[in-house]
Structure 1
Amino acid sequence: MQANRSCLLCGSPTSMWCSRCQSAFYCHPEHLNADWPRHRNECIPASHPAVHSMNLVDTPPPAESQHISVSAILFTPEEERPRIITVNCRPTSRSSWHGICPLPMVQQYFPNSQTEGIVLTQGLNGEDLRFPLHLWYSPTALQRSFPVNRSIFNITSGSAQKLWCGPVVVLKYNGTRRQGYTDASLNDLPALSAYFLAYK
């Protein structure tokens, strides 16, 4: 048994591997599922099937057409604090075969507004984020007299150089390749706060 290999998604030590190719290591079945759009292109079935082992991470992952649900952070103008929500991500027609990230379905949080995304790759003190953050917002919120986002105002203590207006939804990529999402949490707030403070 090979032990102390690195998970292909997060880099954590693991001794579990993909049951199909037996050469890709993952610390959790969810990490294989998240990395499947990329890994499937290199996942060649092993010539000798493995005997049953607790170290196998079952393959194949869920059906291609399934929506993926992840936790995201919602900042709203009406609420004092950000909160965790669930966002469905819809695979695009090419995402499962070409490693393209599924499309997050965030439009319900932006009624009658177009949305844009910003990818945050650096955290506090300019350090690279291992899991980049994907911010969705309405670029026309200020022009349309949307109220100031109280959640963002509060986490920046009102010191942000730009007043953010309208809602903001933040998703978290499952790695630097940005081919899928993982659950965001309130632990991501320090990096977001630094970004909101610095944005001009």
Structure 2
Amino acid sequence: MNPTVSLINHPCTVCFKSTSMWCSRCQNAWYCSPEHLQSDWARHRRECVPVASARSNTLATPPPIQPQLVTVSAILFAPQEDRPRIITVTCEPPHTPAQGACPTPLIQGYFPGGQADNVVLTQGLNGEPLRFPLHLWYSPGALAANAPINQAIFRITSGAASKPWCGPVIVLKYNGSRRQGYSDAGSNDLPALSAYFLAYK
């Protein structure tokens, strides 16, 4: 006589309904339906340790949650405009989920040939540290290419900057000193930017 294997029912992790189906990845969490596994995946994925082989009565584990694009407000100093203006910039999440990695702003379209360099401004007026550092993106070849002087920067510095700024400049604002993401930049950031443009040699 062949022994029969009887499946022991367990309570569903979400609704506690009796079930004999489990997560296919770890085989250690019980769900009565794929929908309940999907709804619990954000929590369960932190404890879901894969096993070597899958057994029957498994539910397919949802794919990892993909990071979403985010948008933030940034300041654009356009060369031909008299004033800086607020624009919306889309940021792409890091390709590898490294701890502390910052999203990448998608700003290439604002720069000739898509070429942009960047610098981080950590000090404001009178050298005090900025709680939210500013990330400046600019065109390194604009001056060499005889690009027109940036009128928006010329205006906020009253033409007193020792170095003429040419080409577009985009400023994003970090969400803290650890620089792990961006928050919305705005007109309150202009005094620190003006001081930077004036002091830059």
Q: How high is the TM-score relative to the length of structure 1?
A: 0.67
Match of 1:80 among 79, 82, 91: 82
**Superimposed CA distance per residue, residues 39-65 of structure 1 (whole angstroms, 9 cap, x where no aligned partner):** xxxxx89xxxxxxxxxxxxxxxxx542
1:120 corresponding residue in structure 2: 121
1:70 corresponding residue in structure 2: 72
Report the CA distance between 1:113 and its aligned residue. 4.5
1:178 corresponding residue in structure 2: 179
Report 1 or 2 for greater relative contact order, CA contacts < 8 Å, sequence distance ≥ 6.
Answer: 1
Between the aligned partners of 1:140 and 1:166, the Cα distance in structure 2 is 8
2:102 corresponding residue in structure 1: 101
Task: Check whether the contact 1:113–1:140 (CA below 8 A) recurs between aligned residues.
Answer: no
Between the aligned partners of 1:124 and 1:74, the Cα distance in structure 2 is 20
2:23 corresponding residue in structure 1: none
Which of structures 1 and 2 has the bigger CA Rg? Answer: 2
Task: Check whether the contact 1:64–1:91 (CA below 8 A) recurs between aligned residues.
Answer: no
Secondary structure of the 1:98 match is coil
**Superimposed CA distance per residue, residues 2-51 of structure 1 (whole angstroms, 9 cap, x where no aligned partner):** xxxxxxxxxxxxxxxxxxxxxxxxxxxxxxxxxxxxxxxxxx89xxxxxx
**Superimposed CA distance per residue, residues 96-130 of structure 1 (whole angstroms, 9 cap, x where no aligned partner):** 44210000001010031411110000000000000
Q: How high is the TM-score relative to the length of structure 2?
A: 0.67
RMSD value over aligned CA atoms?
Answer: 1.4
- Structure 1: which 4+ aligned runs deviate by more than 3 Å? none
1:1-200 matches, cutoff 5 A: 64-94=66-96, 96-200=97-201
Between the aligned partners of 1:111 and 1:77, the Cα distance in structure 2 is 12
Between the aligned partners of 1:196 and 1:111, the Cα distance in structure 2 is 21
Secondary structure of the 2:112 match is coil
Q: Which runs of 5+ in 1 are unaligned?
A: 1-43, 46-62
2:29 corresponding residue in structure 1: none
Secondary structure of the 1:141 match is coil
Report the CA distance between 1:86 and its aligned residue. 0.2
Q: 1:162 to 1:131 in 2, by over 3 A?
A: same
**Superimposed CA distance per residue, residues 53-84 of structure 1 (whole angstroms, 9 cap, x where no aligned partner):** xxxxxxxxxx5421010000000111000000
1:5 corresponding residue in structure 2: none
Between the aligned partners of 1:133 and 1:89, the Cα distance in structure 2 is 15
Secondary structure of the 1:86 match is strand
Report the CA distance between 1:150 and its aligned residue. 0.1
Number of equivalent positions: 139
Q: Which runs of 5+ in 2 are unaligned?
A: 1-45, 48-64
Q: 1:82 to 1:193 in 2, by over 3 A?
A: same
Q: Percent identity of the aligned residues?
A: 65
